[in-house]
Amino acid sequence: MKKLLSIAIILIATATMAFSQIQQEEIDYYQSIFGMEKKGVVANFIKLDETDSFWKIYDAYEKERKEIGQKQINLLLEYAKHYETLTDDKTDDLVKESMHIRKLSSNLIAKYYKKVKKEKGSKIAAQFYQIENYFVIAVRAQLYSDVPLIGELE
């Protein structure tokens, strides 16, 4: 779990330090490493055979999660790009996009909770829900500790 969080931190740190110089290939690379490591942690937690029907659902979830992750990275890059010149309008746009991304993430987990529950039952679905929320919370906590608050660097 700590190794996975470290990879997430690297992804976030890279995004926040390199800002707009990050190439899409680098982002894709870090997301793929994070996804592979994450799947291993999930497999260790949920303990299902690798041929279990759960994994097809999980892979579909991960594909959609990565799209939302890309939106989060783009938002970070946009924030970094405008950090020193934030206007009220731009700040409002960034906050609204952040809320939208958070809602997308929560809705995605809820959507796949229902799919997993239908296929595998409530216990496996609850485990999926718990581990995914753990990842979301851990990455958000690291993000908030690494990204400067508005006005912090003035």
pLDDT tens by residue, 110-124: 999 999 999 999 999
pLDDT at 154: 66
Contact between 101 and 72 (Cβ < 8 Å): yes
> Span 118-139, mean pLDDT?
93
Q: State the pLDDT confidence band at 24, using cuts at 50, 70 and 90.
A: low
Return the exposure string of 111-126: e unless at least 16 CB atoms fall within 10 Å of the residue's CB, then b: ebbebbbeebeeebbe
| Torsion sign over Cα 138, 139, 144, 148 | positive
- Is residue 151 situated within a structural domain? no
- Is residue 154 situated within a structural domain? no
Helix 24-46 vs helix 122-146: angle between axes, to the nearest 10 degrees?
140
Domain coverage including residue 91: 2-146
- Is residue 59 situated within a structural domain? yes
- Is residue 83 situated within a structural domain? yes
- Is residue 109 situated within a structural domain? yes
Q: Which two tokens stand for residue 71?
A: 């939106």
Count of the separate structural domains present in the chain:
1
pTM: 0.78
- Is residue 120 situated within a structural domain? yes
Judge whether residue 61 has pLDDT over 80. Answer: yes
Q: What is the average pLDDT score of the chain? A: 81
